[in-house]
Structure 1
Amino acid sequence: MNLELNERRRRVLKAVIQQYIDTATPVASQDLARSLGVSSATVRNEMAALEDAGLLTHLHTSAGRLPTDAGYRFFVENLMDRAALSTQEQRMIQHQFYQIRSELNQWIHLAAAVLARTAQTAAVVTPPRAYESRFKHIELIAINDALVLMVLVLHEGSVKQQTLPADPHTTQEQLSRIAGRINELCHEASAKAIVAIAQTQPAAQPPLSSFEVLVIESVARAMQQFEEHVNELIHHDGLLEMLHQPEFGQVTRVREVLSILEGGTMLESLIPQALASDGVQVIIGGEHSRDELRDYSVILSRYGVNGDVAGVVGVLGPRRMAYPRSISSVRYIAGVMSDLMGDLYGERKIEPTE
């Protein structure tokens, strides 16, 4: 955020946000005057200036101030102190992951549980996947005279099955030859490249038959659908930690957060954004594209192996989130997960950035 504030206003804004994060209560000028070493009148004037700048607001005339989304954004980008996890916490987390280092399925559950406990809010984790699917091979198996089963295997291990219509005179031997030719044409190709193969008819001889084109187009569609839905599985933990926050004292808010976490669809749109980004992503309140998330902040980071497979780890909480602690927790867990992935695949891990 390109907004110039003098040093005193920066101090006042930082103090307001830190106190509001700690207390969930609008901050009055007299509460800050003593700690900042200035008069209440000075603090009131600076708060008024910060409100004019859109960084603070108030619920009614005599109420104290609380941060706006823009205020939180300025705090995250310019004012907050680093809050690295302690050495003891890091060792404990590393030990927990070390105990299950060979069991990938358990990483996801442990990462969510550890992150929820560390950040004291809800945690979300997606499994590691190839976010751009790559073709590995297909098999074509005759079911009866008119149907063929296509078994598609992707590079990261996912298997898709689909039935296709076939000429009644096609034998299993012919299907195996067709599968072999398509495996050669599509070796390690992306969905986009496979679409091009179907459309441009490669120079290989003989030309592709109509059935071969049908198979290749079906492969491309299956891979595209896989990429679209690869992040539907979002594991979460920490609901109780989140509900301890004063913002969730009403039944309607409890139902709302349950809908966000259990439904998953509200967070789905954020996963591709995190997968395509470096470092920790912080989305605050109204910055979300969905109105249902306007009262929440989400902190996400990609983890995994560069150029191969990756997932997302992060937290969801009220806008009044302990951002320094939450960001450090997400960054650290993402780093641990990347180390595990690097060891598993023997490749260069994704390095979390600032």
Structure 2
Amino acid sequence: MTERQKEILFAIIEEYAEMAAPVGSVTLAKLFNVSSATIRSEMARLETLGLLSSPHTSAGRIPTDAGYRFYVNSLTERDVMREVSANRLLGPGEKAPNRNIHALEVRIHSQERTDYAIRSAVDMLAELTGNLGLATIGEQLYLSGISKLFAQPEFLDNSKIQDVAQLLDNLEPWLREARPGEPLNIFIGQENPIGKASGVSLIISKFRSPYSDSSYIGLLGPTRQNYAETMSLVRHAGLILENTL
């Protein structure tokens, strides 16, 4: 893949996350200052690579799960989730790296009880992203923002809602048994070990709490989302909880 193809792929992913509509060559031609024909050629190549698809009703392209995975891996490699920086920024007397993370930190610190702190963090994640927030509290799975999630255009089809509901039914037992070990775990679309047909991405952060050394907090949302923001928020939520509880 050429550097320009990579930039076009990333631009399509970010534009699609914001607009929820297939991205056409005219939009990208203006952005990259090249002809629409050049963009169409590059998009065709990306489609051949399995990173884009073309909906039947549109001339534009949307990302595939493989396209999102390439994008997320690039984010992870580029930033390494800024783990060292995150721990430093969350030290005593220092400010969180952006306004949303600072708001998350304030919300968590305002709670005296462990379960309230975790619930507050989940509520805040749902408010900030419009996705479904979730966390393990002992043996229970706390959820927040279901109505926000199902208000997104991907879930106008009732069958998709049913797929997500089935995923949620199996999520807590799966977390307890599989115990994902990475500080940040990202499952995109078909990668989801439970609910492959649901068309959602699951982003979860592992953290230590008084309940367990393997507690989890995260977000469940459509594959179309701002991954840089959601990954950062989820990872910082785990770090803040681990450093606070």
Q: Which runs of 5+ in 2 are unaligned?
A: 83-95
1:125 to 102, 125, 135: 135
Matching of residue 26 in structure 1 with residue 27 in structure 2: no
User: In structure 2, do the counterparts of structure 1 residues 63 and 326 end up closer, same or farther at CA, with 3 Å as the change threshold?
Assistant: same
Question: Would you say the 8 A contact 1:113–1:237 is kept in 2?
Answer: yes
The one-letter amino acid of 2:45's match is A
Distance 1:240 1:62 in 2: 29
Question: Would you say the 8 A contact 2:164–2:195 is kept in 1?
Answer: no
Pairwise CA distance, 1:120: 2.0
Query: TM-score, normalized by length of structure 1?
Result: 0.59
Pairwise CA distance, 1:272: 4.5
Matching of residue 88 in structure 1 with residue 84 in structure 2: no
1:244 to 147, 151, 160: 151
1:111 to 102, 121, 125: 121
User: In structure 2, do the counterparts of structure 1 residues 63 and 328 end up closer, same or farther at CA, with 3 Å as the change threshold?
Assistant: same
Aligned to 1:71: 67
User: In structure 2, do the counterparts of structure 1 residues 272 and 38 end up closer, same or farther at CA, with 3 Å as the change threshold?
Assistant: farther
Pairwise CA distance, 1:293: 4.6
Distance 1:108 1:47 in 2: 43
Who wins on radius of gyration, i.e. which is larger?
Answer: 1
Aligned to 2:218: 314
SS in 1 for 2:215: strand
Question: Would you say the 8 A contact 2:160–2:198 is kept in 1?
Answer: no
Pairwise CA distance, 1:256: 3.8
Distance 2:120 2:75 in 1: 32
Distance 2:141 2:68 in 1: 26
Q: Which runs of 5+ in 1 are unaligned?
A: 129-229, 342-354
Aligned to 2:92: none
Alignment of 1:204-353 (within 5 A): 230=139, 233-261=140-168, 263=169, 265-266=170-171, 268-270=173-175, 272-273=177-178, 275-304=179-208, 309-341=213-245
Distance 1:63 1:269 in 2: 39
1:55 to 46, 51, 54: 51
Render the CA deviation track for 1:131-186: whole Å, top value 9, x for unaligned: xxxxxxxxxxxxxxxxxxxxxxxxxxxxxxxxxxxxxxxxxxxxxxxxxxxxxxxx
Query: TM-score, normalized by length of structure 2?
Result: 0.83
The one-letter amino acid of 2:11's match is A
Question: Would you say the 8 A contact 2:205–2:218 is kept in 1?
Answer: yes
The one-letter amino acid of 2:234's match is V
Higher share of residues assigned helix: 2
Distance 2:175 2:137 in 1: 15
Aligned to 2:86: none
Matching of residue 36 in structure 1 with residue 32 in structure 2: yes
Pairwise CA distance, 1:288: 1.9
Question: Would you say the 8 A contact 2:134–2:142 is kept in 1?
Answer: yes
Distance 2:159 2:29 in 1: 37
Question: Would you say the 8 A contact 2:22–2:58 is kept in 1?
Answer: no
Render the CA deviation track for 1:255-292: whole Å, top value 9, x for unaligned: 4434443x2x145324554x442221110011123345
Percent of residue pairs bearing the same amino acid type: 31
Distance 2:116 2:197 in 1: 29
Question: Would you say the 8 A contact 2:104–2:121 is kept in 1?
Answer: no
Question: Would you say the 8 A contact 1:123–1:237 is kept in 2?
Answer: yes
Q: Quick check: 240-249 or 50-59, which moved more?
A: 240-249
The one-letter amino acid of 1:295's match is G
SS in 2 for 1:253: helix
User: In structure 2, do the counterparts of structure 1 residues 63 and 55 end up closer, same or farther at CA, with 3 Å as the change threshold?
Assistant: same
Distance 1:331 1:293 in 2: 26
